[in-house]
Amino acid sequence: MLRTKDQYHEDLFKMKTNIFIGGEKVGRDDHRLRPGINVLDVTFDLAQDSKWKGLITAISSINSEEINRWSHLPQNPYDLLQKQKMIRCVARRVGGCIQRCMGHDAISALAICTKEIDEARGTDYHKRFMEYLRLYQMKDYDGCCAQTDSKGDRTKRPSEQPNPDAYVHILEERKDGIVVSGVKMSITQVAYADEIFVLPTRALMEDDRDFAVAFALPADWDGITLITRPVWLREKDEAYAAPFCKYGVSDSVVVFDNVFVPKERVFMCREWEFGRRLALLFADSHRHSYSGCKPGMSDVLCGAAMLAAEANNIQKISHIREKLSNYAGAAELAYAAGVASALYGEITSSGVFFPNKIYANVGRRLTGELIYHEYNLLTEIAGGIAVTLPFEEDFHAESTKKYLDKFIVRNPKLSPETSLKIWKFVENIGASPMSSWYEIAGVHGGGSPIMETIALNLDYDFDEKKRLGRYLSGIDETFDDAKALELEPTFGTSLETNDRQALKE
């Protein structure tokens, strides 16, 4: 089944009320949540459009039916490339974060890790999860991932916290399920998601076994409270409402207060040795998703900077063109890292094809390091007008319009109306609550920068580089260049003929 956005709304708006915004209990039809819902609407609309078939949709590996790609388990490099391309394309349409990648990365991580737990422990988590995923795909659900715990005292492990609710943990294990408690934070789009995937956030020790838990629940389940911060709260002038102004995002603190989780929805229960594995599976998959998302954001910023240059009539000046080239470098290097991550990925015992961790983390770290630089470039090109522009009403008021129509035009080839639209766009993309969100999410989304460094230090073969140095410096007489033998992309035989042709194109 491929839901329409109207069907998504129908399901969403009949969910139980468990959201608080500014101390007020609200339903999911609250207007402050609408910008985020508008983003998800695009993902449902495109799945209905025949032009996007095969990119927004995929053929399920479970039942061979057409499904939304957001609920598809990647089976080969082509699937990962299509995911990356899909995210970049849709991010460009909504002017930034598409939000649904969290659910995609969560189901990939759970499919892989449940299989590995079963292989090590003789449990039946994988079968349980795949039965759940069958329903998830059939209903065309949107899922968010609640991974980040509030963490409490950062110098103490979960089991050492004076407040155990700093991490979501198991209070009780029953024959029919478990009872959990705790807090997750900075959880994007949970206020308008169908389902919440809960995963561990870090490596765990045996004393932390109660904190080794993974499950999925409807976002309005009994005992769950969402304390939500919509990012975009400013009212817009409808006469000048541009597409970028329709979209936004909401983040929530998710409180689990003695929440019962049915057994069929529990996918990890005290298998502490796999806490780190599951956490990193999600994080690395999500960092691969960023190789589509952040190039899309670079495209948006580049477009805004080019419009600002045109409005200032400086688009042909050499140092402006040099600044604009920075956007090309940021976007395409990050995208190339994602392509490499897909091509050099690996098949797991679950059958899920997983991106190469090195390239995924390299691409993600690059985008995090450059996001503030990209905003700085926009500011240098646009100037200070983004934060000093008169209010929109002044451009329409009879007593001020005649002055501002002249003031706003710097390029004589542009009309006052077009010039104003450009500068309002620059203001919205560069000096609004949404722009601040994108700056911080650009650094911290998918994990803090130090986690990418840790991942690279764990997985990158530094010893091989040292052996190369020993050979070239004459310390060792020979060097076994095994690295050269690892440079064959993992196409395998699972790609269909048209898939290989699409890769060539």
Q: Are residues 472 and 444 in the same domain?
A: no
| Terminal CA-CA length for the chain | 30
| Confidence band of 316 (pLDDT split at 50, 70, 90) | very high
User: Is there a contact between 249 and 172 (Cβ–Cβ < 8 Å)?
Assistant: no
Q: What are the helix (H) ranges across 344-461?
A: 357-382, 385-388, 398-407, 416-430, 433-444, 449-459
pLDDT at 181: 98
More confident residue, 116 or 449: 116
User: Is there a contact between 454 and 403 (Cβ–Cβ < 8 Å)?
Assistant: no
What's the predicted TM-score (pTM) here?
0.92
Tokens representing 132 are: 């759940």
Residue 293 counted as domain residue: yes
Percentage of the residues of the chain whose pLDDT score is greater than 90: 80
Q: Are residues 290 and 329 in the same domain?
A: yes
Return d(Cα 280, Cα 113) in angstroms, integer: 10
| Confidence band of 450 (pLDDT split at 50, 70, 90) | confident
Per-residue pLDDT at 237 exceeds 70: no
Q: Are residues 291 and 359 in the same domain?
A: yes
Per-residue pLDDT at 500 exceeds 50: no
| Confidence band of 488 (pLDDT split at 50, 70, 90) | low
DSSP percent split of the chain into helix, strand, coil, nearest 5: 55, 15, 30
Percentage of the residues of the chain whose pLDDT score is greater than 70: 93
Residue 53 counted as domain residue: no
Please, what is the Cα angle at 6 between 5 and 7, to 5 degrees? 90
CATH number at residue 392: 1.20.140.10
| Confidence band of 234 (pLDDT split at 50, 70, 90) | low
Residue range 33-42: mean pLDDT, rounded = 96
Per-residue pLDDT at 482 exceeds 80: no
| Confidence band of 495 (pLDDT split at 50, 70, 90) | very low
pLDDT at 479: 84
What is the extent of the structural domain holding 341?
A: 279-458
Residue range 285-312: mean pLDDT, rounded = 95
Q: Which residues does 133 contact at the CB level (< 8 Å), separation at least 6?
A: 62, 71, 73, 107, 111
Tokens representing 347 are: 């098949």
Instruction: List b or e across 108-140, with b for residues whose CB sees 16 or more CB atoms inside 10 angstroms.
Output: bbbbbbbbbbbeeeebebbebbbebbeebbeeb
Residue 161 counted as domain residue: no
Q: Are residues 354 and 340 in the same domain?
A: yes
Residues present in the chain in total: 505
More confident residue, 454 or 305: 305
Q: pLDDT tens, 123-163?
A: 999 999 999 999 999 999 999 999 999 999 999 999 999 99
Q: Are residues 478 and 421 in the same domain?
A: no
pLDDT at 236: 55
Label residue 324 exposed, middle or buried (CB < 10 Å: 0-12, 13-18, 19+).
middle
Tokens representing 235 are: 């009212």
Per-residue pLDDT at 61 exceeds 60: yes
Q: Are residues 289 and 407 in the same domain?
A: yes
Residue 390 counted as domain residue: yes
| Confidence band of 200 (pLDDT split at 50, 70, 90) | very high
pLDDT at 498: 46
Q: Are residues 314 and 427 in the same domain?
A: yes
Residue 415 counted as domain residue: yes
pLDDT at 255: 98
Residue range 56-65: mean pLDDT, rounded = 96
- According to DSSP, the β-strands at 19-21 and 224-230 are parallel
The sheet carrying 177-188 orders its strands as: 24-26, 19-21, 224-230, 250-262, 177-188, 169-174
Dihedral angle sign, alpha carbons of residues 274, 275, 281, 284: negative
| Confidence band of 270 (pLDDT split at 50, 70, 90) | very high
Closest CA to 289 of 102, 133, 47: 102
Q: Are residues 485 and 353 in the same domain?
A: no
User: How many helices, marked H, and strands, marked E, lie in the chain?
Assistant: 15, 14
Tokens representing 305 are: 């900077």
pLDDT at 3: 97
Query: What are the two backbone dihedrals, phi and then psi, of residue 313, each rounded to the nearest 5 degrees?
Result: 60, 40
Phi-psi region of 446 (alpha: psi -120 to 50; beta: other; left: phi over 0): left
Structurally, the chain folds into a number of domains equal to 2
Residue 139 counted as domain residue: no
| Confidence band of 437 (pLDDT split at 50, 70, 90) | confident
More confident residue, 176 or 484: 176
Residue range 25-54: mean pLDDT, rounded = 96
Q: Are residues 326 and 445 in the same domain?
A: yes
Q: Which of 315-324, 478-487, 488-497 has the lowest mean pLDDT?
A: 488-497
- According to DSSP, the β-strands at 66-68 and 177-188 are unpaired
Across the chain, mean pLDDT equals: 92
Return d(Cα 188, Cα 103) in angstroms, integer: 11
Please, what is the Cα angle at 104 between 102 and 106, to 5 degrees? 70
Return d(Cα 435, Cα 5) in angstroms, integer: 26
Residue range 303-320: mean pLDDT, rounded = 96
pLDDT at 128: 98
Tokens representing 183 are: 């807090």
Q: Are residues 445 and 430 in the same domain?
A: yes
Residue 190 counted as domain residue: no
Residue 309 counted as domain residue: yes
Q: Are residues 473 and 426 in the same domain?
A: no
Q: Are residues 299 and 425 in the same domain?
A: yes
Return d(Cα 176, Cα 70) in angstroms, integer: 30
